[in-house]
Structure 1
Amino acid sequence: MPKRISIATHLNISELEQLYRQAKNALESRQCQVLWLLAQGKKTEEVEEVTSKI
Structure 2
Amino acid sequence: YMVVGPAEADPRLGKISNESPIGRALLNHKAGDKVKVEAPGGAYTVVIVKVS
Category of TM-score, reference length = shorter chain: under 0.3
TM-score (norm 1): 0.25
Q: Which has the higher contact order (CA 8 A, sep 6+)?
A: 1
Greater helix proportion: 1
Q: Select the structure that is richer in strand.
A: 2
